[in-house]
Structure 1
Amino acid sequence: MSIDRFAAAEAALKAGQFDEGVEMIEGELNRDPAASLQLYRNFTTMLVRRQRYDQAADWTGKAVQRFPKDIDLWNLRGVALRRLRRFPEALDALNKAGKLDPKNRSVLNNKGNVYNDMRNPAAVETFTKLVRVTPNDADLQRSLGRAYWFAGEYDKAEMRLSLAAKLRPTLVDAWLDLIGLITETKSQEEAEPVLERAVAANPIDIRLIEARAVGIRRTGATRDAEQFLLDQLKKHPNEASLHFQLGSNIADYDRVRANAAFERAIELDPKDVRYRVSLAESLGRSRHGDEAANLERAYRILVEILDQMPMTAPNLKIAYELMVRVAAFDDMEKLGSFSEVGRTWAEAGRHTALFAHLARVKTLEDRRELVEQHLIWGRKVEAVVKRRPIEHRGPRRPNGKIRVGFMSSDLRTHPVAYFALPLFQHYDRNRFEIYCYSYYQGEEDATQKQITEWVDGFRWVKDIDDRGAAQMIADDQLDMLIELGGSTHMNKLPVMGYKPAPLSASWVGYPHSAGLKEIDYLILDPYMTPEKPGLMIEKPLELPKGWYALGERAFREEPQADPVAPVERNGYVTFGTANNPYKYGKEVVGAWAKIVAGTPNSRFMFVRPEGGTPTFCANIRKVFAEEGVSPGRVIFEAVRGRHLPFYNQMDISLDAFPQTGGTTTCESLWMGVPVVAKVGDAVFERLSYSVLMNVGLGDLIARSTQEYIQIAMKLGADHAQIAELRRGMRARLKASPLADTKQFAADYFAMIEKAVKAA
């Protein structure tokens, strides 16, 4: 293909006929691979400039075989592979280019960029060499500043980034890096003057407006950030990025408007994959309207953009969560190994993602690796805390009482609150003072109002950052702080890293070690404490009987459990689950399918909102079909929040594993449905074990998957036992330690008192 024909193809590209132009060139090159070196260079340069990195990597791979000593082709290959985040291959290509010309500045710069992307300290040496030759190059000073930042040398990073912004005040990327560095290592307040100078130098740059909104949001002032963005949108109504920021800011408390903002961003800039990723995430979390339709659309968007979205930690989390919810088991496996996925999240500070990772463990090594992933996250929090610790006042005036704090944004109509209610209702006010801390973004409900009336202090602050929350708690001068929420939605687990109370513990909200060495205890019971070493970080603080008690508000008489078992009406057994899909994978669903296949004419019922999603239903039915179970024997009831009556259609509840049910197990038993469970090594594998042992149903607990299947099939064949268990189950619970809320509260506070006095 001649240079003239290449020029004609490029002219087509400039006219907007990009695909046609690329196809023209690729067609000619495939027919005539002996094209000139210059043509290969021009073509791959064009692909890189237009961000066609897959094609650029493919063609440079072919080109370097024909021209192995051409530095430009190796350099272009390195750039394309870097953009694809194929870092080892990118370094290999750039090293080969470097051997051809060790002093080539473009190659060294690209190599340094790869090192920076990898957070490899070698970037410092690489960019230092380049800066020595051209110290007034603002881009190189910025790159060196980033290298120092990633290496943890923050003062040097700040100096270099400041110099880059001084050398070229219009280099907005340098300003943004400088603002981000100061925010991370110092405070948002100290970053504000830098942002002001950046805006003064670049008054109409939208990225700096975005930075201002993000900065306000980081202080916890989400409503102020919203108003700022609304004001800016009046001036810039067609800026897609501002609509995107608005959606990101308000998603926690106004999902409908957030979705509309993401939709508008996509409408204005359909090529920016970030907007579609965010819409997919938000739709997956939308509970308004048709939840199943929202989820199905979210997954369809994900499938469309999966090859385009960079698999950063946030994007990996979004992809993982959506795949889990539609039971796309095979696709989940392609996202990476257990270690790769977990460490990606941990190193990026994504603790919430690790919650969904619990159910993915398979071996003892996985379980210990999971502990290490939590520690990786914890070390990052500890580094932030060390840079800006909180202040502690002197000891408070003694009044003979132990002051205990409970921190959770779920102290409302939520399962966590249901289990905690007995503590707030029945504590001895002559010996204890109770303070609660919530950052819930919604409105007060009846449960939260009742807790507020019971306890000595209820601090409810919607707009506050982690450090501010920690300082608020420290000012209350507690003896012990107990967090109940883990890192789930709207909770602030990093607060515990500031050690706002002399003693601290985790309980009920997160069935695993949080990862912070500043948390002294993990509150458990005799059944939940791991038998094998190395599976938790904190010291166990054991309750004498159960992990929790069933508060009266949570387990009410209505709805009534039908005393007649479904098998007595139907003549066949109905197995089922109401567990969240994040708790089970293909192995568990396969075990359920084997149980149904081995129990003549039986059915399996999923009671989950995902059951209205076509993809979830198809994926589940596929696994059951592999065991010979026809589609009609798998039933889906798509409900959320009103699921208890459906237990009157279920004979046996099959628990998930390795992550077992907690609330779900208790609800099932309360509604008269026996639960078959499997116990494992780690805390999150022992919740149902604790419940069943406390109600005297230890014979329904398995130690292996095969035993689990056998127990379920044996019970499924004994219709009389199913009926007998149903009729006596609620009374069994009421007579168990799980229903004695006053004794539970007494045991709980006796445990706290002992720990405080021993400290």
Structure 2
Amino acid sequence: MTETATSAEAYLDQGRALLTAGRLAEAQALAAKALSEHPGSAELWNLQAVLLRQGRRPAEALAAAERALALDPALRKAAANRANLLMDLGRPQEAAEAFGRLAAEEPDNGLFHDGQARALLRAGQVGPARAAMTRALRLTPAGAGAWLQLAALAQRQQGPEAALAVLEEGLGLSPDNSALLEGKATALRQAGRRTAARKLLEDVLARHPDWAWPHFHLGDLLADEDRPAGLRHLRRALELQPNSVEHRLALVQALARAVGPDEGTCLDEAAELCAQIPPGAPLRPAQLKILRDVHARTCAFDAGDRLGDFKTLGRAFAAAGLHTAFLWQLARVRTAEDRRELVEQHRLWGEGAESRAARQPIARPARARGDRIRLGVVSADLRRHPVGYFAEPVFAHLQPDRFELFAYAFDRPRGDPMEAWFAERATFRRAPEASDREAAQIIADDGLDVLIELGGSTAGNRLEALAYAPAPRQASWLGYPHSSGLSAIEGFVCDALNAPTEPGLLLETPLTMPKSWIAMGASAFQGAPAIDARTPQERRGALTFGTANSPNKYTREVLRAWAGIVAQVPGARFAFVRPEAASQAFRARVSAEFAAAGVDAERIEFHPVRGAHLPWYETIDISLDTFPLTGGTTTVESLWMGVPVVSLSGAAFFERQGRSILTNAGLADLVAEDLEGYRRIALELAVDHDRRRRLRTGLRDQILAGPLGDTEGFAADFYDLIARWVG
């Protein structure tokens, strides 16, 4: 009995359905099979062109489109695909001619006029493009592509206000145009004008409650400040467009950022939504980052690895301007080659940021050097936050005869008492809706001698503002354990213990503090719980290892090392003091890694805590550090609670934070040089109960008597260092 042959039309229907469902890999396999049976079908060759374009294989897609046209020269969709592919391949003049021919044949087809306009814009012919743009928009609401392209060009060359002017011009021709309204909302958000963006989106939804994109943008905008409302809009956007990967990942991101009693449930829902994204779906770097962050927080190591190798993924993040994605890259370093590649990824990001800044330079008022050095710091974390605690000594021990201190914050105030404390001790400027360029101009107008950024690309900070070089000397300190990548940042505050062992692992000049690169501010552990003189092992009957470090720093190697250590200590336990501990996905994957080493689930403790985690150190005898990305604040916190930390040191700064802190706390012998040494130190400390008992009650005094506790001496060293650097 023979199988009934599948017709070309049936294959087309199946292929289009798979494409609509986002199942690209299956659609490509089906198209290949269909063409083997129907090689003379122009429609199938055109479908193949569409699928290859979706799969980012434009040269092969162009060949498929041209094969379709050879079979059927009148197939307009293939001609349009060919024109778009010429654009993809960087051949805009040919694309303009192709779209022009289509527009001449169908003068009432606005999409062809729009395609011609987009190609002309890409070719730099703005004047001829404008006529085609206007025709396109008057003929069809879908003819807004060139307007969006011109707005993007204006954004790059002149900034967000110029982009908004282009979009307003287009809206004058088509006031309720969905694409232009979305472009305006996006431009307002990029300009930092959240209030105006929110009003626009709410006005659009009042008229069009079933449009998905305003729900998407409003949900994304509200997710951090009003999570229930943000999630409601994002869920509605996905309900309206269930196959939209963009809407799905926006919901994933909002869920993953949730804090509170339902944090674990939200993280599990985010992980489930990630698993529903079809394999092979084309994703932008920003979308890969969202996936990667959820995989990291739930220890989905295999899924994370499938997103891309270290070099490919890191360079994609750099090209997309996603500095925030690099922190996870630090944890993935395995070899000396990886370390050098990581530096290159940061440098490439910096080149892009400085190229963007160069297109819109800021004004730099002339200023003669005065008697005092004008020192500025920029951070969103001058509050009750680890950065605030470690910056506190510089503000507490001012040297007003030598320095004039400025502080800049470009986030919204939190109503934190420490915010007011910092603001009282410096000329303080806050501008939450300023763009990066506007932030740079605010800084430049103060005529600083030196500017220090404290936050890297963490939430609320404005690293890209430093790409405009608003101060003649700029440096990094505290917030990010690696070179930023900006050549405009010349200095990097460190100490001799955590400075990289190879000069090429730092792009900036090391500004080396004589003792420690940090000291604990007086507010750092105010209200920290008292320490029970008995060790947890004495009180609980079993020794407990543990960590409060973020899963972003975990790797499979880290979990296996921890599990192996626990397995060698009879009855020992391991405690995870993390908000992710409320996630079932996190618990299951961690438990599986420990089970592989012979540690059953009953020996693992999960404490789902966010923020108020210091009391949980009362349950831990020994903290085990992450590697290669070592802990900073968590290491200091553990020591302050009388819990020794075992750390593994490497060559780069981010691998040496533990070395600096432990050495300056008088515990240099707890720093290992290799993984075998790490295991050995942990196991030796596990049986040295007398030492652990002494450290439990003596570490606080030991810290305060050393460089970590000498805030006045630290501030004096810091100001001397900056004065020498400025010259």
Q: Which category describes the TM-score, using the shorter chain as reference length? A: over 0.9
What is aligned with 1:741? Answer: 711
CA distance in 1, matches of 2:20, 2:566: 56
1:100 Cα offset (Å) = 7.6
1:222 Cα offset (Å) = 0.9
What is aligned with 2:537? Answer: 567
Q: Does residue 653 in structure 1 map to residue 623 in structure 2?
A: yes
CA distance in 1, matches of 2:362, 2:10: 62
Task: State the one-letter code of the partner of 1:753.
Answer: A
What is aligned with 1:600? Answer: 570
Q: In the TM superposition, what are the counterparts of 1:612-627 in structure 2 within 5 Å?
A: 612-627=582-597
CA distance in 1, matches of 2:276, 2:521: 46
- Identify the match of residue 242 of structure 1 among 214, 222, 238: 214
TM-score (norm 2): 0.93
- Residue 646 of structure 2 aligns to a residue whose secondary structure is strand
544-553 vs 88-97, greater mean Cα deviation: 88-97
Q: Does residue 492 in structure 1 map to residue 462 in structure 2?
A: yes
Q: Does residue 411 in structure 1 map to residue 411 in structure 2?
A: no
Shift in CA distance, 415/114, structure 1 to aligned 2, threshold 3 Å: farther
444-453 vs 249-258, greater mean Cα deviation: 249-258
Cα deviation per residue 1:531-573 (whole Å; 9 max; x = unaligned)? 1232121111111111110011012363122221112233431
CA distance in 1, matches of 2:346, 2:566: 37
CA distance in 1, matches of 2:116, 2:717: 58
377-386 vs 232-241, greater mean Cα deviation: 232-241
What is aligned with 1:349? Answer: 321
- Residue 199 of structure 1 aligns to a residue whose secondary structure is helix
Shift in CA distance, 301/50, structure 1 to aligned 2, threshold 3 Å: closer
- Identify the match of residue 444 of structure 1 among 398, 415, 418: 415
Q: In the TM superposition, what are the counterparts of 1:669-708 in structure 2 within 5 Å?
A: 669-708=639-678
CA distance in 1, matches of 2:159, 2:81: 32
Count of residue pairs brought into register by the alignment = 719
Q: In the TM superposition, what are the counterparts of 1:324-723 in structure 2 within 5 Å?
A: 324-396=296-368, 398-455=369-426, 457-556=427-526, 558-723=528-693
Q: Does residue 752 in structure 1 map to residue 713 in structure 2?
A: no
- Residue 356 of structure 1 aligns to a residue whose secondary structure is helix
Cα deviation per residue 1:471-528 (whole Å; 9 max; x = unaligned)? 0000000000100011111111100000000100011000111111111111111112
1:346 Cα offset (Å) = 1.2
Q: In the TM superposition, what are the counterparts of 1:44-123 in structure 2 within 5 Å?
A: 44=15, 53-68=24-39, 70-85=41-56, 90=61, 93=64, 110=81, 113-114=84-85, 120-121=89-90, 123=91
1:174 Cα offset (Å) = 1.8
1:288 Cα offset (Å) = 3.4
- Residue 437 of structure 1 aligns to a residue whose secondary structure is strand
Q: Is the 8 A contact 2:54 2:282 kept in 1?
A: no
- Identify the match of residue 320 of structure 1 among 292, 298, 303: 292
1:387 Cα offset (Å) = 0.9
Cα deviation per residue 1:126-152 (whole Å; 9 max; x = unaligned)? 5255257567586567557666878xx
Q: In the TM superposition, what are the counterparts of 1:721-732 in structure 2 within 5 Å?
A: 721-732=691-702
1:240 Cα offset (Å) = 2.5
CA distance in 2, matches of 1:103, 1:337: 44
1:53 Cα offset (Å) = 4.3
CA distance in 1, matches of 2:116, 2:342: 34
CA root-mean-square deviation: 2.7
Shift in CA distance, 38/92, structure 1 to aligned 2, threshold 3 Å: same
Shift in CA distance, 279/42, structure 1 to aligned 2, threshold 3 Å: closer
- Identify the match of residue 219 of structure 1 among 191, 194, 198: 191
Task: State the one-letter code of the partner of 1:165.
Answer: M
What is aligned with 1:130? Answer: 98
1:721 Cα offset (Å) = 2.1
CA distance in 2, matches of 1:643, 1:526: 31
What is aligned with 2:4? Answer: 32
Task: State the one-letter code of the partner of 2:338.
Answer: D
- Residue 550 of structure 1 aligns to a residue whose secondary structure is coil
Task: State the one-letter code of the partner of 2:615.
Answer: P
What is aligned with 1:274? Answer: 246
1:617 Cα offset (Å) = 0.4
Shift in CA distance, 505/283, structure 1 to aligned 2, threshold 3 Å: same
CA distance in 2, matches of 1:32, 1:508: 69
1:92 Cα offset (Å) = 6.7
Q: Is the 8 A contact 2:451 2:475 kept in 1?
A: yes
- Residue 534 of structure 1 aligns to a residue whose secondary structure is helix
CA distance in 2, matches of 1:498, 1:292: 40
- Identify the match of residue 262 of structure 2 among 287, 290, 296: 290
Task: State the one-letter code of the partner of 1:423.
Answer: V
CA distance in 2, matches of 1:97, 1:363: 48
Task: State the one-letter code of the partner of 1:490.
Answer: G
- Which blocks of at least 5 consecutive residues in structure 1 are unaligned? 1-27
Q: Is the 8 A contact 1:403 1:432 kept in 2?
A: yes
Cα deviation per residue 1:563-598 (whole Å; 9 max; x = unaligned)? 211122334311000001101111100100000011
1:91 Cα offset (Å) = 5.8
- Residue 374 of structure 1 aligns to a residue whose secondary structure is helix
